Amino acid sequence: DTGVSQDPRHKITKRGQNVTFRCDPISEHNRLYWYRQTLGQGPEFLTYFQNEAQLEKSRLLSDRFSAERPKGSFSTLEIQRTEQGDSAMYLCASSPHRAEAFFGQGTRLTVV
């Protein structure tokens, strides 16, 4: 399968713990996006990368969130000191150019 892969699919964590999610984009896609989606809402933009450079980060994103894309390949999204409000689906997408993003199946985070 050469689609976008996200790991894990599901994560349950206790409030205050740190979590890290991984996204493997489609090979040779130079753009990578992270979104957060809660029930009944559309995906909310978090950040995106052009190769290894993080070009934009949402102002809604607190300092507890950080994303990296070393070497312009896979990406990680870390949430420190998780809160119940962080519970959501975290979606990763990659794109060969500026349009047409291809999404992974997401990581469902539950903070208890």
Partner 1 sequence: TQLLEQSPQFLSIQEGENLTVYCNSSSVFSSLQWYRQEPGEGPVLLVTVVTGGEVKKLKRLTFQFGDARKDSSLHITAAQPGDTGLYLCAGENNDMRFGAGTRLTVKP
108 binds partner 1 (CB under 8 A): yes
CA–CA gap between residue 93 and residue 84 (Å, rounded): 24
35 binds partner 1 (CB under 8 A): yes
Which of these, 105, 10, 21, 30, lies nearest to 73 by C-alpha position?
30
Using CB under 8 A as the binding rule, the residues of this chain from 65 to 94 that contact partner 1 are 91, 93
Range in contact with partner 1 (rule: CB under 8 A) among 11-19, 67-75, 76-84, 95-103: 95-103
Contacting residues toward partner 1, per CB under 8 A: 4, 33, 35, 40-45, 48, 55-56, 91, 93, 98-106, 108
